[in-house]
Chain A
């Protein structure tokens, strides 16, 4: 049979290295998996993107650092040392023979499946500050952790407005959090745990602000923080973050139960605002690979479907730790995440644990979908002025809901509301990717990390549908912004380079109509092929 030389057929994808088990993320779950795997004879590569370079943190990748890093974060050696010292199991992993690579990010996972057949197996794209390369892996355990839902209000772009996960990492692992006095938004178990951790790290908690009538997290955490002198302000939101170069204070106001601000605004002095209204699994690699991801409120939002062995819908890809689901017990007890890592390794080695120690989420204590929507309604829709929900592309909530073309087009029309979001609603809930294409919201270099959950909530409020009905906005590789200079280091086979074409390379496609024969057959075409150079551009 003939081979189409312009296609991928026969082209080798060159991998730099190969391992039996690749573990992505050196938290409790990833470390326990890596140590167990190495101890049982597997070749194991364990990567973690931490410590994240200062410049990357400044780009708000992979977390919402909110420019809250102190100068310590510039000192690479000190950061590496702090990272290793703050997690003793990293040394244990080294000693167990795990190939540990810190400061190394995974920006893509690839595997054959529907739509791609030419890969040599499961492939991961890795990069550090200078190099980019591909590694093949028989099995991948993803332990990519958690991140925080962004929540906008006027001034939320100011340095000092930080996601809770970034704040905790900077404060507790690196001693590199700039703000010393913060206001915390949210009262879930994860928010209260964050507040306690920050307090233990010497950060003063100016107030804990909650739009709902009561804290939604466990009573004992509320009681402990109360006892420690933290002020809880329920039925309140931040109306504005104040400050010139960075946050110097916030204006807060009481809200009624529909989220509307009532009463006087009050100033609280602080250097930071910690966003803790929604902790969510990091599913970017899994989603981009094509693993089945569904909205699971008991797991903190969109999370991969995993079986009792933590196996995803792709048979050699496992998800463990926070990226497989976040719930209060797991947030409070790291042995649950560690146990997931052990189970995954056991499954790879063909063991049957039966039903013992299966990791099962807590029953949700509150309606996560309604809670997140209420925050967005009170803080974003109820805001007293326009601000950018998508900070990269500078798109406001109103522009999202009205599907306004981006401002750089200068598009003027007298019928601006004719084609709002409602015009897209056609028997199905609005799709954030369609909204992204039209407004650019979520299209920027932070890859939607700060706005995607807010946009989903805006769409669900507009469509009066729960968050679960809003499709997950797509993730595409690279799931970390990857400099062209680094991506271009991926090696290319000589065969592929030789036959590289700008488009399909079908000569007859470019022939003028007068040269089209009455009948086309493959045999006749091969007999008459002339290479035509008359190309005038392409789709």
Chain B
């Protein structure tokens, strides 16, 4: 094994959570190194819908503050665009959205219902057939690829280091401390370790005696050729989440996920399925003026969830110099503030700007061992082809 210089903080996982953390740490002058088995943002971090949401998260207010200034902070464009619009195609959907709007208003955020004239002006691809739409004066969307690379480059600009194509094979411990990360390219010494490896976080934490419970699933999206750009692109509705990119493509997803086991080795295959057509139908029900637009790609990503679907950001009790982090399937949008929170936990021991006690790992201490089966979160048996 070759000698590679370790770092004060080694982060396992070059997804959006690990990279944001690394960027915040590097900005604070911390010597940080990110180890990634493939390429940055290659899994769910680069395959999501780019939404910046999740109002009930304790990280949400700080996220709202940060997104509008991220381009400036990073020095690279994220394509962030403010505001979201919730479209209801049916009266039934409108009723649900009405109560959602009321709920977010109770939290102090501003929403308003759009009349048909406003809809035609702001979201012209949406049809006059829809029952209604709510304008959210908060949230937004950004380009996942550009954002992930922006974190990586921004971190490197501040002296942080990145090793891609380097899988972690184990950890070296001394007493109750992890002192090094064993990789395909050698041992990386560390004072502190952050495991932000998406679906692999559970497996890696288990080798340190305290497993973050999680299960992974595949979800799908489609993208069309570019269409004229609407005033607001962050549109959800009719069972779909997504956005119109600043280039004009409609990128939307939704529908049933498929629970999967971790691959024995290597990476997830990320295949998409004919679900593409069912997503497409919902899209043109909401945006009939896009019916002629052609789908030019579909894709899938594998996302991990904890049993309650909420994040874990916590230190391991077995090895207190290890922080484990998963955003449980809602990671991209919150990444500006999740990275800052993890940075705070690593450097200061506690998050300075929000109460993240709901992300504690100990809440799963009494979890049933067969929780995946109890929740139906298990991989299907495969029907063999002829």
**Chain A residues near B (Cβ < 8 Å):** 1-9, 11, 13, 108, 110-123, 125, 132, 134, 138-139, 289-290, 315-316, 393, 405-406, 408-409, 411, 413, 419, 423, 426-428, 431, 434, 437-438, 440, 444-445, 447, 476-478, 481-485, 487-490, 492, 496-497, 499-504, 506, 508-513, 516-523, 525, 533-539
Contacts and interface: CB of A to CB of B under 8 A. Distances in A.
A423 B162 CA distance: 11
B332 A520 contact: no
B291 interface: yes
Contacts, number: 338
Contacts of A481: 225, 294-296
Interface string B268-306: 111111101110111110000011111111111010010
Contact of B258 (A116, A447, A533): A116
B56 A510 contact: yes
A487 to B, nearest CB: 4
Given A7-B376, A501-B255, 7 more contacts: A8-B380, A114-B271, A440-B247, A483-B293, A490-B277, A506-B309, A508-B308
Nearest to A107: B295
Contacts of A516: 308, 310, 358, 363
Nearest to B363: A520
Given A508-B309, A509-B308, A519-B365, A484 B164 contact: no
A520 B269 contact: no
Most buried by B among A405, A406, A426, A504: A504
B296 A444 contact: yes
Contact of A536 (B139, B218, B332): B139
A423 B153 contact: yes
B100 A534 contact: yes
Interface in B163-202: 163-166, 185
A537 B254 CA distance: 12
B385 A512 contact: no
Contact of B241 (A121, A497, A502): A502
Contacts of B364: 519-520
Contacts of A496: 255-256, 278
Given A2-B374, A7-B376, A520-B364, A484 B247 contact: no
A226 B297 CA distance: 45
Contact of A522 (B52, B77, B368): B368
Given A409-B79, A489-B277, A502-B240, A6 B295 contact: no
B274 to A, nearest CB: 6
A282 to B, nearest CB: 17
B298 A476 contact: yes
Contacts of A445: 225-226, 294, 296
B310 to A, nearest CB: 6
Closest 4 CB pairs of A and B: A537-B53, A490-B277, A509-B309, A536-B55
Contacts of B136: 536-537
Contacts of A289: 271
Given A8-B257, A437-B145, A488-B281, A476 B272 contact: yes
22 contacts: A7-B217, A112-B382, A113-B269, A114-B263, A119-B273, A120-B383, A408-B247, A419-B153, A426-B164, A444-B296, A445-B294, A478-B298, A481-B294, A488-B278, A492-B277, A500-B239, A516-B310, A536-B138, A537-B52, A539-B241, A539-B330, A539-B331
B315 interface: no
A428 B247 contact: no
A283 to B, nearest CB: 16
Contacts of A409: 77, 79, 246
A104 B256 CA distance: 29
Contacts of B240: 502
B109 to A, nearest CB: 8
A537 B236 contact: yes
A438 B149 contact: yes
A437 B367 contact: no
Nearest to A419: B153
Nearest to B370: A522
Nearest to A478: B295
